[in-house]
Amino acid sequence: MKAFSLLTTLALAALAVTGADAAKCGTKTPAPVPAPATNTTMAPAPAPVATTTKAPAPAASSPAPAAGGEAAAGGAKSAGCGKTATLKSGVQKVTVGGKQREFTLYVPQNYDSSKAYKMIFTFHWRGGSMADAVKNAGGYYGLQALAKESAIFVSPQGNGAGWANPGGEDIKFVEAMISMLDADLCVNQNQRFSTGFSWGAGMSHAVACALPDKFRAVSLIAGGLISGCDGGKQPVAYQLMHGNNDNVLSPQMGKSIMETFVKANGCTSQNAPLPASGSGTHIKTEYKGCKQGYPVIFTGFDGGHVAEPADKGGKNFAPEESWKFFSQF
């Protein structure tokens, strides 16, 4: 535990060093990037009227449906299926460990309580907010438009600058949200996913480690070991996109955390290539030998620490890659 705390402290310290300090020291210590470099300005989302709900106790970890759920074609229905939903799109509040936490919820406009929906968590970056993740790339890291009202979206608010997850408190927050949402909405429990950029990617890695029975797949953009990994022994489908010139969280840091699931998913380890600097391209590597249904994919792109990777003259390819990855399950 002391060793893990030291590693986490060092990783967070790396995020806090300024570029000037790094240059002064002659090291490659990364500078913080509180917001992603994108071609669009992300305005805060208007704050809907907030509601406060105390979450039910998280269900015991098990791959079986939660209490009240039932088996369904293509997945397991949550306890909220067939009920009149009380939760609406907007800011929601839940009490976890005596603290009030917030998240933005999006319920499809054509919501049908007899249909089990995908659920996608979108975690914001260091210094960002749930509103930033909601607005990013046109909505929830660009996934909202691709979902075409087929998914429930959850954008949680971190404590302080992001997702330090001390004592696993952010994992407990995720468990509380899942319990609250599954009890009220109709969710396909075998189609729960997570994505995020930077610290949001680190938190997506943390939920894959700690909650493999809750999350089927994760898709990270520029991640590192900055939210911990309590577990990481069970398979979870895993995708990582990382820039070759990322000076905040190096591609080696991203590959290091991905290796946890290369092993857990039974894949053959390899050194996935990065494109040449200035090439304006990306290289997608699908790992071999993985357990059926648990792929690992690494996409190295020519770029830095950005939430919206794109080839030269092209558009942000992360949304389509993430959606395609999630849609196979």
- Of the pLDDT bands very low, low, confident and very high (cuts 50, 70, 90), residue 6 is very low
Q: What is the pLDDT averaged over residues 134-159?
A: 98
- Of the pLDDT bands very low, low, confident and very high (cuts 50, 70, 90), residue 315 is very high
pLDDT in tens, 54-87: 444 444 333 333 333 444 445 699 999 999 999 9
Same domain, 17 and 110: no
pLDDT in tens, 163-190: 999 999 999 999 999 999 999 999 999 9
19: its two tokens: 């570029």
Same domain, 130 and 170: yes
The pTM of the full predicted model, rounded to 2 decimals, is 0.81
Same domain, 20 and 141: no
Domains in the chain, number: 2
144 inside domain: yes
Give the pLDDT score at 160: 85
Selection from 123, 67, 126 nearest residue 305 by Cα:
126
Same domain, 181 and 217: yes
Q: What is the pLDDT averaged over residues 285-309?
A: 99
- Of the pLDDT bands very low, low, confident and very high (cuts 50, 70, 90), residue 304 is very high
How far is 60 from 213, CA to CA, in rounded Å? Answer: 10
Same domain, 204 and 140: yes
List helix spans (H) across the chain.
Answer: 2-16, 19-25, 130-135, 143-147, 169-184, 199-210, 251-264, 318-327
67 inside domain: no
pLDDT in tens, 9-47: 444 544 543 333 333 333 333 334 444 444 333 333 333
Q: 262 with 296: CB under 8 angstroms?
A: yes
